[in-house]
Structures are given as structure tokens and as C-alpha cells.
Amino acid sequence: MRRELMIPALCLWCFVFATAIGAGEPFDGEAGLGAPADTVSSGPIAPFDRLLGTWEVTQSILNQDGSWSVKPQKYRWKFYPILEGEAVQDDWIVVDSTGQETVAGTNIRIFNPEENQWHMAWIDKTVRRTAVFTAKNEDGKVLMEGTNAKGRHIRNTFYNISENSFEWQQEWTFDEGQSWVAVARIRGTR
């Protein structure tokens, strides 16, 4: 199978498998597919190991005038190990005014030690597309690059990852990666 088709095929397989075993139920803090949360291996996947669990997040976006504004919508981000602790899945959840949660999208992330990088696929329920990224761990950060579900080349970075908080930033390029502009920021807290 061609490499560019492998990750979307894996995502589809994981979605079908997870649906078949009832993984669509709300995440209750236990690891997905029956793996205990502490089965995620140490070493290269350690940055995501620290993200396991549920986070309350605030999202800020860059306005056209260069100022930043916090989105009023409430969000949660849930990370959990899958595939016997060899991969991490995370769900982006929108919380409405009644507290009802709706999963808007999900990531599947797996580290390839031979390449020393992550391969990731984002499945976006809103635009009904899949986006593929690669990433590297660097000084406690996770630096992702790829093309989003709308075809834009982007860079996402997880940083300042601690037990009770993390930060995330999305950047866009308008000149084929010569320069980057931050357009969205997320802060997660437990």
C-alpha cells in the first residue's frame, strides 16, 4: 500500500474497530481498548504520556487587526493510549451551555522510532476530512507539521507541558515555510 494511503487507512480501521467495541462512550479516565493508562512506553513518546487524561482548554485566535481574543466556547481535550500503549488518541470536544459534550474531531498519533518522528492523522467531523502530520520531539516540545483538513500548510507545537498544564500554538505560512504566523493558541489545565 502506498505510504500516503496508510495513515488514513489506519485511521479508518481504528474508527471501525473502536465503534464495534463501543469506544464511542464517554471517556472515563481509563485507557482505550482496555490498556491501563500506565502502559504508554517511556522514551520518545514521553511528551504525550504527560498529556494523558482530560483537560479543560481555552482557545485564543488571532484577529485581523493583530489582537488576540479568547473564544467563548467551552472545550475539553481528552488523551488516552490505544493499541496496547503504542499510540495515543485524543478527542477534541465541544461543550455546550448545558454541559453536553460533542466530539468534533480526533487524532491518532504513533511514534516511529526508526524515523524518530510521530505520524499523526486528524479526523475532522466538521469539514469531514482527514489531515496528516509528522512531528518530532524536541526539548520537551512536540513540533508538528502538515497540511490541515482544508489544505493549508500548518505547524502546531505543544510546549510548556507539565502535570497540570500545557500550551499549544498553531502557525500558518504564506511563503512556503520561510516564515510562520501564530493564528491560534490553546492552554490546557486539569
CB 150 within 8 A of CB 127: yes
Number of H helices, E strands in the chain: 2, 11
Question: How many angstroms separate the CA atoms of 55 and 124, rounded?
Answer: 19
Q: What is the pLDDT along the chain (190 residues), one digit of tens a residue?
A: 444 444 443 333 333 333 333 333 333 333 333 333 444 445 556 677 888 999 999 999 999 999 999 998 999 999 999 988 889 999 999 999 999 999 999 999 998 889 888 999 999 898 888 899 999 888 888 899 998 877 789 999 999 999 899 999 999 998 888 899 999 999 999 9
What pLDDT does 176 receive?
A: 84
What pLDDT does 126 receive?
A: 87
Q: How far is CA 50 from the centre of its chain?
A: 13
- Name the grid cell of 116: 524518530
Q: What angle do CA 166, 46, 8 make, to 5 degrees?
A: 90
- Name the grid cell of 87: 499510540
What pLDDT does 33 receive?
A: 32
What pLDDT does 96 receive?
A: 92
Question: How many angstroms separate the CA atoms of 155 and 92, rounded?
Answer: 18
